[in-house]
């Protein structure tokens, strides 16, 4: 082997620049990849349709059905359908446990107390953890109940129906788009 061959590489150097490292890699984080535009449009439009459906039902029966925790639940079931927080068991049972905690705390604490609302949220978190039904929006349901004091005879059936509707719309939406992840990952 000649010394000339050892000094010359057999291939030319790659002209494409190497990917640039972020200046502050700890800021870049490990966030998931951005969804494809079609998938994002599908998820957002399905969640919005479900929420509009809740508003329409509320308008028909002259009762508010859409509450902030349900909007958060819709976001979970439509945009993160594989998470344990988004499964039907967690959505439905979680909100019912949140309602139970909210009414229990409201029965013994001052109506509208922020302290009582925080306690109800903490109790809800404990109950949903013990019941293996994690659902963070359920904590907000407990807060709404303590701060707003809705009549349980009307509120709880509407809450139950709304959570079932959210689960069913997520189930249907996951079947409409062929490439969509199947919801739910498990029913119970």
Contact 79, 43 (CB under 8 A): yes
The sign of the CA dihedral 79, 82, 85, 86 is positive
CA distances from 138 to 64, 106, 165 (A): 17, 16, 16
**DSSP assignments along 116-151, one per residue:** HHHHHHHHHHHHHHHTT---HHHHHHHHHHHHH---
The confidence score (pLDDT) of residue 68 equals 94
**DSSP assignments along 48-102, one per residue:** HHHHHHHHHHHHHHTS----HHHHHHHHHHHH-TTSGGGSHHHHHHHHHHHHHHH
With cut-offs at 50, 70 and 90, classify the pLDDT of residue 104: very high
Neighbours of 159 (CB within 10 A): 24
Please write the tens of the pLDDT for every residue from 42-95: 889 999 999 999 999 999 999 989 999 999 999 999 999 999 999 999 999 999
Please state, in angstroms and rounded to a whole number, the distance separating the CA atoms of residues 6 and 37. Answer: 51
Please give the helix or strand (H or E) that residue 27 lies within, else none: helix 25-28
pLDDT > 90 fraction of the chain, expressed in percent and rounded: 67
* pLDDT average, residue stretch 14-32: 64
The confidence score (pLDDT) of residue 124 equals 98
Please write the tens of the pLDDT for every residue from 107-133: 998 778 999 999 999 999 999 999 999
The confidence score (pLDDT) of residue 159 equals 96
Please state, in angstroms and rounded to a whole number, the distance separating the CA atoms of residues 158 and 46. Answer: 21
* pLDDT average, residue stretch 157-184: 92
pLDDT for 18 beyond 80:
no
């Amino acid at each position: 082997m000649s010394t000339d061959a050892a000094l010359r590489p057999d291939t030319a150097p790659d002209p494409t620049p190497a990917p640039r490292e972020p200046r502050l890699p700890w800021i870049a984080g490990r966030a998931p990849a951005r969804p494809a535009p079609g998938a994002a449009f599908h998820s957002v439009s399905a969640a919005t349709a479900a929420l509009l459906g809740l508003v329409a039902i509320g308008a028909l029966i002259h009762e508010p059905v859409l509450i902030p925790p349900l909007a958060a639940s819709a976001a979970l079931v439509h945009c993160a359908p594989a998470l344990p927080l988004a499964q039907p068991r967690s959505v439905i049972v979680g909100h019912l446990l949140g309602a139970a905690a909210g009414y229990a705390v409201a029965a013994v604490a001052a109506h509208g107390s922020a302290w009582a609302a925080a306690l109800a949220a903490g109790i809800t978190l404990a109950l949903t953890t013990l019941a293996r039904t994690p659902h963070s929006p359920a904590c907000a349901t407990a807060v709404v109940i303590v701060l707003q004091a809705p009549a349980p005879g009307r509120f709880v059936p509407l809450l139950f129906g709304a959570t079932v509707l959210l689960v069913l719309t997520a189930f249907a939406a996951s079947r409409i788009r062929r490439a969509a992840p199947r919801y739910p990952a498990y029913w119970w």
